[in-house]
Amino acid sequence: MRYCFVLAAGLSAALLGACGSPNSPATATAPLPPVPAAEVELPGKALFLQNCALCHGANGKLGGNGARDLTKSNLNQTGRVYIVTHGMGKMPSFRDQLTPEQIEQVAAYSLTLR
């Protein structure tokens, strides 16, 4: 029994000694690198990819079916909302498929493609 106590005391001391003090150089750890911020997805991005990317491309440059290059467009938010709502040329109107709020979100996202 006395042997177990001595063994346990020695083991405890060995473990505590291995840990060292928090300020000792042997146990100092390097600071963790900063965690990269998660990419914040804009509300209109998913809607754009679902409804617009087929012709405009995910980056706005595709130009399929005669679609305009959105990276070169000088339309502001209001102009883009109008075009998405009413359509133009070969582009269909999205007023029956998207809510006015969703159209605003798609237009706002398309401005980020410049």
Q: Please name the amino acid found at residue 61.
A: K
Structure tokens at 62: 């595709």
User: Model-level pTM?
Assistant: 0.64
pLDDT tens-digit profile of 14-55?
A: 444 444 555 555 556 777 777 666 566 788 999 999 999 999
Give the helix, strand, coil percentages of the chain, each rounded to 5: 50, 0, 50
Secondary structure letter of residue 35 according to DSSP: P
**For position 30, what pLDDT does the model report?**
75
In the chain the domains, ranked by start, together with CATH numbers, are 43-111 (1.10.760.10)
Residue 113 has pLDDT above 50, yes or no: yes
pLDDT tens-digit profile of 73-101?
A: 999 999 999 999 999 999 999 999 999 99
**For position 33, what pLDDT does the model report?**
75
Q: Please, are residues 56 and 75 in contact by the beta-carbon 8 Å criterion?
A: no
**For position 1, what pLDDT does the model report?**
47
Q: Please, are residues 20 and 13 in contact by the beta-carbon 8 Å criterion?
A: no
